[in-house]
Structure 1
Amino acid sequence: MSKLLKNKLSRRIILLAAVLIVLFGFTVYKDQKTLIESGAGTALNPVQSVLYTVNKRMESFIDFFLRYEEVKEENESLLLENIELKANLRNYEALKTENERLREMFNFKNRADQYDYVGVNVIGRSGGGIITSYIIDRGEEDGLLSGMVIMTEEGIVGQITETAKTWSLVETLSSENIAIHVKSTDDASISGILEGHIGSGQTQMAKISFLPIDSSIKEGDTIVTSGLGRFYPPDFLVGTVVRVEEDKGNLMKTAIVETAVDFKRAAQLFVVKPKSMGDVEY
């Protein structure tokens, strides 16, 4: 019985192979065809097409299983390569950000090369929702003194108000203990003393008080340091005027300023140190 089945299977395979050979070798393209040849070719072409498609799919299916391990290794290799490329991209973005930050500081330094800039890190904050002060990781051992200015690449932060051997306390422009002389870049005649101010909704602001009632200061004006007293380098960004309030009774105006630096996000700061300490009395 087993032999009979094997013989039948063998005959079927041989027959199927013979049919395939005949069908694949049947179509021969000539310059001219008889009506009968053309009709036979037309009748058999759909069958050939189906068999050819099935054959190709079987080849692809078998090839996939034969190359399975190879494809698996290639996929694993590509996955690792993709992970490495993503890591390199993150490193590139971090280096790009660092270079941009250093470029900004280099531009600051070119504008006021009579100062040195010492990098410090924030190790503590106070003020709750309103950041009014930081603790930084350098102090008297590094030559820092109370009164020295603190900034980031974005602009002025505030100044040192207390020092110890290895740390210092920095009060931000939002603190009412800080007062600096500033000016407007839009009108050189506009200048005044900027102090800390808590806006509505506990927002961090600053204000320029006691401006003349006829002052041309307006919303959108850019406020920078004036450089008077040499505590603060001149022309460093402080912020932007967001509102002007009039006190007609006292014939004065007050400009509310949004600071350029986001005190909640600042992490690395710079201490501004005059190269000639004799010019400034801290």
Structure 2
Amino acid sequence: MKFLKNKLAVVIIILSVTFLSIIGYSANREKMSFVENGVGVTINSVQGLFYDGFYKVRNSFKFITNFSNVKKENEQLKKANSEFQTKALEYDAAIKENASYKSMFKFSDKRTEYNYIGADIKGISGNNFSDGFIINVGENKGIKKRMIAMTGEGLVGQVTSVGNNWAIVQCLSNENIAVAGLVERTGDNNGIVKGYKDENNKLLAQIQRLSLDSAIKKGDVIETSGLGGIYPAGIRIGSVLSVYSDKGEVMKSAIIEPYVDFTKIEEVFIVVPKDTREIKY
């Protein structure tokens, strides 16, 4: 490329000197001859051609250099953007986790008769989460069968099996789990909450056995009533999606969307009574 630049420069200098000589010679004459005029036009055309070619080559060289720089900058921007997105997701997850802990602490502050043992989920115990999942605490932490699992969002389920350093929790979505439920707004506390799946196999819940005159409606909050002595009162379960009546059974029922997404939880708190006599084994 350097050789090409030097060669072009020499040609341009020769043409410029020739053209200036003709101008000097013609300056002393009133009129330029036809031949001189033709030579001048030709030289100007050729000189312009060389200048255009020279600048095009130089601009092409600049474009190649700039393209390489732009590509490098683009890669750096992509990397920075990826890192920013990762940090944003981590920040969002941290905010949600913090909100969950705040809700959990708010509940534990009200119910000081319990200890709350944190546990990580290590896997599922069957084909899916509705069959139950395995946690990394057991008898070594005072965990016993029928103790309750929850998160800051709400009720998860119940401990059904216990080992030395592990336990199995069955989610509320499992149809074998039943919870005494309360309609927060109306105070109806004679309902039973059980697992339920819709036509799309979505994990939901259902509150049954409410009286026909119950004022339960869409959007109502369902929580544990505390009746039966197993589940502490006041643990949020979910919100009502729809209500229907079964006049043959003389009762109302409602479909509930749980506050906890059973397929996405990573950790739970096991509710351990400080006085273990409160659990009816």
TM-score, length of structure 2 as denominator length: 0.69
Do the aligned partners of residues 106 and 227 (structure 1) sit closer, same or farther apart at CA in structure 2, a change above 3 Å counting? Answer: farther
What residue ranges of structure 1 are gaps of 5+ in the alignment? 1-8, 23-46
Q: Aligned partner of 2:92: which letter?
A: K
Deviation at 1:262, TM superposition (A): 2.7
The answer on whether the counterparts of 1:130 and 1:203 sit within 8 Å (CA) in structure 2 is no
The answer on whether the counterparts of 2:196 and 2:204 sit within 8 Å (CA) in structure 1 is yes
Deviation at 1:85, TM superposition (A): 5.2
Aligned to 2:83: 87
1: CA distance, partners of 2:244 / 2:214? 11
Aligned to 1:211: 210
Identity %: 30
Q: Aligned partner of 1:102: which letter?
A: N
Deviation at 1:194, TM superposition (A): 1.4
1: CA distance, partners of 2:151 / 2:101? 8
Do the aligned partners of residues 244 and 73 (structure 1) sit closer, same or farther apart at CA in structure 2, a change above 3 Å counting? Answer: closer
Aligned to 1:269: 268
2: CA distance, partners of 1:203 / 1:228? 28
Aligned to 1:156: 155
Q: Aligned partner of 2:98: which letter?
A: L
Does 2:108 correspond to 1:112? yes
Aligned to 1:30: none
The answer on whether the counterparts of 1:129 and 1:202 sit within 8 Å (CA) in structure 2 is no
2: CA distance, partners of 1:20 / 1:186? 100
2: CA distance, partners of 1:277 / 1:17? 106
Do the aligned partners of residues 195 and 74 (structure 1) sit closer, same or farther apart at CA in structure 2, a change above 3 Å counting? Answer: closer
Aligned to 1:135: 134
Deviation at 1:139, TM superposition (A): 0.5
Do the aligned partners of residues 278 and 187 (structure 1) sit closer, same or farther apart at CA in structure 2, a change above 3 Å counting? Answer: same
Aligned to 1:121: 120
Deviation at 1:81, TM superposition (A): 6.5
Deviation at 1:215, TM superposition (A): 0.8
Q: Aligned partner of 1:107: which letter?
A: S
The answer on whether the counterparts of 1:190 and 1:217 sit within 8 Å (CA) in structure 2 is no
CA-based RMSD: 3.9
1: CA distance, partners of 2:51 / 2:11? 19
Deviation at 1:173, TM superposition (A): 0.9
Does 2:271 correspond to 1:247? no
2: CA distance, partners of 1:187 / 1:20? 103
Aligned to 2:36: none
Provide, for residues 52-108 of structure 1, a one-character-per-residue CA deviation record: whole Å limited to 9, x for no partner: 87665454345567xx4x985785476356425523541442243034213322232
State the secondary structure of the residue aligned to 2:119: strand
1: CA distance, partners of 2:116 / 2:150? 9
State the secondary structure of the residue aligned to 1:83: helix
Provide, for residues 175-229 of structure 1, a one-character-per-residue CA deviation record: whole Å limited to 9, x for no partner: 2332222222332345522123344454433222221111111233221223456
Do the aligned partners of residues 156 and 165 (structure 1) sit closer, same or farther apart at CA in structure 2, a change above 3 Å counting? Answer: same
Structure 1 range deviating more: 80-89 or 110-119:
80-89
Aligned to 2:34: none
2: CA distance, partners of 1:83 / 1:10? 43
TM-score, length of structure 1 as denominator length: 0.68
The answer on whether the counterparts of 1:149 and 1:160 sit within 8 Å (CA) in structure 2 is yes
2: CA distance, partners of 1:186 / 1:133? 31
Q: Matches of residues 20-99 of structure 1 in structure 2 within 5 Å?
A: 56-63=55-62, 68=65, 72=68, 76=72, 79-80=75-76, 82-83=78-79, 86-87=82-83, 89-99=85-95
Do the aligned partners of residues 127 and 213 (structure 1) sit closer, same or farther apart at CA in structure 2, a change above 3 Å counting? Answer: farther
2: CA distance, partners of 1:78 / 1:142? 53
